[in-house]
Structure 1
């Protein structure tokens, strides 16, 4: 399975609670934080929900 490198590039201040919770579930809590996840449908769905806050790269 491929891996995805996900980086938070915009602030969570003023965002919907559901979007903040999604970012936290991905392991992102500060601007510039990067995490790696497996490329699964569940992770893709979370990324698509808050894609305007993230930068996603394939590793």
Structure 2
């Protein structure tokens, strides 16, 4: 499968608890942090829930 790079570009301060936990599950703990994941439906669903806080690159 393809890999995607997910970068946190906005702060999680005013986010819901569910969105904060999703960011942590993705491995994003700080602003401008970047992680690489496989392009699976589970990961894409998590990214979709926090799409206003992250940017995705292939």
Taking structure 2 as the reference length, the TM-score comes to 0.98
Match of 2:45 in 1: 45
Taking only aligned residues, the RMSD between alpha carbons, in angstroms, comes to 0.4
SS of match in other structure, 2:10: coil
Once the two structures are TM-superposed, the CA of residue 14 in structure 1 deviates from its matched residue by: 1.5
Give 5+ residue unaligned stretches, structure 1.
Answer: none
Report how many aligned residue pairs link the two structures. 58
Give 5+ residue unaligned stretches, structure 2.
Answer: none
SS of match in other structure, 1:37: strand
Match of 1:11 in 2: 11
Counterparts of 1:11 and 1:32 in 2: how far apart (Å)?
9
Q: Which runs of 4+ in 1 moved over 4 A?
A: none
Once the two structures are TM-superposed, the CA of residue 38 in structure 1 deviates from its matched residue by: 0.1
Counterparts of 1:14 and 1:54 in 2: how far apart (Å)?
14
SS of match in other structure, 1:24: helix
